Amino acid sequence: MTQSTIQDQARSSRHWQRAIALIGACLCTGTSASVYTFSLYGQPLAQKLNFNSRQTSIVAICANFGFLFAGPFIGRAADIYGPKRLAAIGAIIVCTAFLCIAYTYNGTLPWNSFIVLAFYETLMGLGSQCTSMAAVTTTSKNFKRSRSMAISLTNAFFGLSPLIMSQLNTLIFVSENGSPDTFGFIRFMGIAGGTAALLATLCLVVVGFGPSKFADESNPESSSTHSANSELDNQHYIQNSNVSENTPLVNRQSPSESSPWSATSSSTQVPQSAQVSRAQTTKSIRTNRDAGLDYDFVRDLGGMRFIRDPEAQLLSLVVLTGAGIGIFFINTIGTIVDSLYSSSVPERDPNKAQSLINFYVSLVSFASLTGRLIIGPVADIGKRLYNIPRSSLLVFITFGLVVSQIAIGLTTKIELLWIGTALTGVFYGSLFALVLSLTSTWFGNKHFGSNVGLLILTTPIGGEICGFIFGWVYDQNIPDRDPRKCVNGYCYRDAFVATTGLALTCLLLATILVRHRSIRRCSIRELLREEEEVQEEVWPL
């Protein structure tokens, strides 16, 4: 058997392993979206346990607190211990939390304080983060060239779970006669979600990128030397470029010392094969640049260096304001729908109200899934074909969030609520998926899990701010929480004035970040141009 045949078989095996791992990752993220299902059972739960709007908002956001505040620790665990254990633990935790909520609802468990329910929701968020982080980390470390599309596909299933569960709730647990079976629905979500996540755990495996099939195989020794030297070159480049924003990228006094390839310039110290490979690398860079080279070079940051990085800080603020709005809306869509419906009919039908809630939860989930799916291919195609920076999409997405909040605030009829709901879902899903792709592209995969955890740490803060404002405005206008009195949505409209202001802040932050990235790309482009001149002098082609 020839060497090329062995390599082809190994490559084919890796492709199959990546495909299976991607399926498992999609299933994992699908089950981890249970943190977004509160609107499906939140209203009957609050009515049964006699919670007011502020208490309900606290219980709802606690799932997101558990999901997002655990992010840095869960991400670190994913980087160290791998995805399989993490996903299995998360599946057990999610199942346990849902069962506790279900048996509290029907009175089997005696502790029905909103604080206890908030603890159960936090526990559910923690388990969901375990399964989600295991899935995203596996995908990020298995794909390189199509990483944005793979991450978007995995992340898209995060919006699929509420869509499926809302439809199952309508088909199975909402009867024509009598009240909806809320207890059976919550128990079903726990058992089904935990079982699916455990099955997905069997598929999660980190395969890695593997060698490219386009590598030069005509001279194995030369190819090996080229690969080794390229790795050293990349490591040296990362070390030299991993500096503060105020540090010059090029040392003007000594270009040869500032070169990422200039560990030495003496022919007695550098082997001839290394000189040739470096010259080939320089030629490749010059050729690829004309074809649209990606100047968003990975800096491989993690820990305190990541926290202190200005671009990471700006990105976290964009997540705080933009993703916080999305989480807030998903948690309160049930209250909004119930208020618009109940105030528009002579007599409120609980089954009709629940069916409408299920429909709008399905809509926002499907819109979020669509946004997560399309943003990856759009980012990759725009970069490859038109050399459009991925970061520029942040401005478009955050502008869409502004429009969505204005649309919801102006909606006075239940029939028109779908416009703002769909816009919010699409742009929230796009933002979340794009942030994952940018984190991998800008800061590397070595600390990907912990970096993502740190970034999304701010999301529940934005969601809690919006949720608190919504609950306070609602309780001030309707102290008895009777949705029939909320005519044309007046009882919560002021809350969306605040969320519109928050979305405008997000747009401003995204614009500043895009400008910052543009300056960095120009500096790196200038660095590479000077490096070509140095390489042509030291190793003429």
Q: What is the dihedral of CA 289, 294, 296, 299, to 10 degrees?
A: -80
Reduced to 3 states, what is the DSSP secondary structure of residue 287?
A: helix
Domain for residue 278, yes or no? no
Residue 196's pLDDT is 86
365-386 exposure pattern, b = at least 16 Cβ within 10 A, e = fewer: bbbbbbbbbbbbebbbeebeee
Rounded to 5 degrees, φ, ψ at 289 are: -65, -40
Q: Is the pLDDT of residue 241 over 50?
A: no
| Interatomic CA distance for residues 52 and 456, integer angstroms | 28
Domain for residue 88, yes or no? yes
**pLDDT tens digits, 196-229:** 888 888 888 777 655 444 333 334 333 443 444 4
Neighbours of 532 (CB within 10 A): 15
Domain for residue 264, yes or no? no
| Interatomic CA distance for residues 513 and 301, integer angstroms | 17
Domain for residue 325, yes or no? yes
Report the sign of the C-alpha dihedral through residues 236, 238, 241, 242, in that order: negative
Neighbours of 238 (CB within 10 A): 16
Residue 418's pLDDT is 93
pLDDT band at 510 (very low <50, low <70, confident <90, very high): very high
Q: Which residue has the higher pLDDT, 188 or 153?
A: 188
| Number of domains into which the chain is organized | 1
Q: Which residue has the higher pLDDT, 219 or 500?
A: 500
Residue 506's pLDDT is 93
Residue 223's pLDDT is 40
Cα angle 234, 240, 243; round to 5:
125
Judge if pTM exceeds 0.75: no
Domain for residue 254, yes or no? no
| Interatomic CA distance for residues 352 and 248, integer angstroms | 64
Residue 424's pLDDT is 94
Structure-block tokens of residue 197: 């996540």
| Interatomic CA distance for residues 71 and 91, integer angstroms | 16
**pLDDT tens digits, 318-337:** 998 988 898 889 888 888 99
Report the sign of the C-alpha dihedral through residues 107, 36, 494, 457, in that order: positive
Domain for residue 122, yes or no? yes
Domain for residue 246, yes or no? no
**pLDDT tens digits, 437-470:** 788 778 877 777 778 778 877 777 888 888 888 8
Domain range enclosing 430? 13-204+300-523
Average pLDDT over residues 369-377: 83
CATH number at residue 189: 1.20.1250.20
Q: Is the pLDDT of residue 409 over 80?
A: yes
Domain for residue 167, yes or no? yes
Q: What is the dihedral of CA 155, 161, 164, 169, to 10 degrees?
A: -160
- The closest alpha carbon to 398, from 421, 370, 423, belongs to 423
Q: What is the dihedral of CA 118, 120, 121, 124, to 10 degrees?
A: 160
**pLDDT tens digits, 465-484:** 888 888 888 888 887 777 88
| Interatomic CA distance for residues 133 and 99, integer angstroms | 23
- The closest alpha carbon to 40, from 156, 155, 158, 173, belongs to 173
Q: Which residue has the higher pLDDT, 92 or 17?
A: 92
Residue 231's pLDDT is 42
- The closest alpha carbon to 71, from 24, 126, 112, belongs to 126
Residue at token pair 């747009």: 507
Q: Is the pLDDT of residue 291 over 70?
A: no
